[in-house]
Amino acid sequence: MAEKDYSRKLVSMVEIQKSFGKVEVLKSVNFEVGHNEIVGLVGDNGAGKSTLIKILTGVHQPNGGEIYFKGEKITIHSVERSRELGIETVYQEQALSEQQTMWRNIFMGREITDKLGFLKIKQQRRETEKILREQMGFTSKAINTESIVKYLSGGEKQGIAIGRSLYFDADLIILDEPTMGLSLAETKKALDFIRNVKDIGKSAIFISHNIYYVYPVADRFVILDRGNVAGRFLKSKITQDELFEKMVHLAKTGKMR
Ligand SMILES: Nc1ncnc2c1ncn2[C@@H]1O[C@H](COP(=O)(O)OP(=O)(O)OP(=O)(O)O)[C@@H](O)[C@H]1O
Ligand SMILES: [Mg+2]
């Protein structure tokens, strides 16, 4: 049999298996993300969604299976490695430093320095200003590069995290419950950021319990259920109500309708 061609997809996770002790959390999961595709990863609590994406971000090592990124077989042994590859994560408990300014947060751990290792502060401020206006599309006069992160809204923090990912040229942005705890207005902003990811030609994995947030922004849906992929649907082939119904039925009966 011919080798499968993994070069058409941005990322392919093949027969991924993960156990914590005796508990098998991912059984043999096949999961792919295409170029310029937004994939909605949905499923009940404990289905294994976060575990699956933590394998992509280098937090967990799989016990079995293979990962292909841009057609090449890779191992992701650390979070740094994952970032190097162009994979960034945004989640509600964002790793932002609350007491610091916005521009310091953007460049934290990846500071721009001159040959001698001195910080290029002016350039970092300038770049942050650019990210702020162009990538995050912030319009509020109250927000600027000197704003202390602590005083920003949840949605604005989310925006910084996504803007930072885009600036560092991530090809794949993973959003694990990015709207949790956000107000409606902030949620709308976070969803707009995800649409922006699509508009500029990048890809994303969007995990949320709220199908009404996932449905409008995703191109495709993958339902995970107790460590197995229970279904895959192109948005063009399923309505929001049908997807919702399928998930309710699955939760009730353990079976796909
Ligand atoms: N580090 C860990 N050690 C042991 N068990 C873990 C660990 N991380 C996750 N698990 C278990 O693996 C299962 C899947 O967890 P995971 O966080 O991937 O689910 P999830 O689909 O993201 O759920 P939720 O929607 O509630 O966030 C759960 O039963 C969880 O208790
Ligand atoms: Mg989770």
The per-residue pLDDT for range 196-215, each reduced to its tens digit, is 889 989 999 999 989 999 99
pLDDT, residue 98, reads: 77
pLDDT, residue 231, reads: 95
106 lines ligand 1 (CB under 6 A): no
pLDDT, residue 115, reads: 87
* Distance from residue 122's CA to the centre of ligand 1 (Å): 43
Write down the pTM of the prediction. 0.86
Q: What is the DSSP letter of 150?
A: G
Q: Which two tokens stand for residue 200?
A: 């500029």
pLDDT, residue 172, reads: 95
49 lines ligand 1 (CB under 6 A): yes
Least confident of 17-21, 81-85, 160-164: 160-164
Q: How many CA atoms lie less than 13 Å away from 216 in the CB half-sphere?
A: 11
pLDDT, residue 93, reads: 57
Nearest atom, ligand 1, residue 227 CA: 14
pLDDT, residue 3, reads: 67
* Distance from residue 250's CA to the centre of ligand 1 (Å): 19
168 or 171: which leads in pLDDT: 171
The Cα–Cα gap between 74 and 231 comes to 26
SS3 148: strand
Domain 9-94+171-253 CATH class label: alpha beta
The Cα–Cα gap between 249 and 257 comes to 7
Which residue puts its alpha carbon closest to atom 18 of ligand 1? Answer: 48
Q: If you search the block for the tokens 């790793």, which residue do you land on?
A: 95
* Distance from residue 51's CA to the centre of ligand 1 (Å): 6
Question: Has residue 96 got a pLDDT over 80?
Answer: no
Question: Has residue 106 got a pLDDT over 90?
Answer: no
Least confident of 22-26, 38-42, 88-92: 88-92
Question: Has residue 118 got a pLDDT over 80?
Answer: yes
pLDDT, residue 17, reads: 98
Domain ranges of the chain: 9-94+171-253
pLDDT, residue 221, reads: 98
pLDDT in tens, 209-257: 899 999 999 999 999 999 999 999 999 999 999 999 999 999 889 888 7
pLDDT, residue 205, reads: 97
Amino acid at 40: G
pLDDT in tens, 119-150: 888 988 888 888 777 766 676 777 888 888 88
SS3 34: strand
Question: Has residue 154 got a pLDDT over 60?
Answer: yes
The Cα–Cα gap between 52 and 176 comes to 11
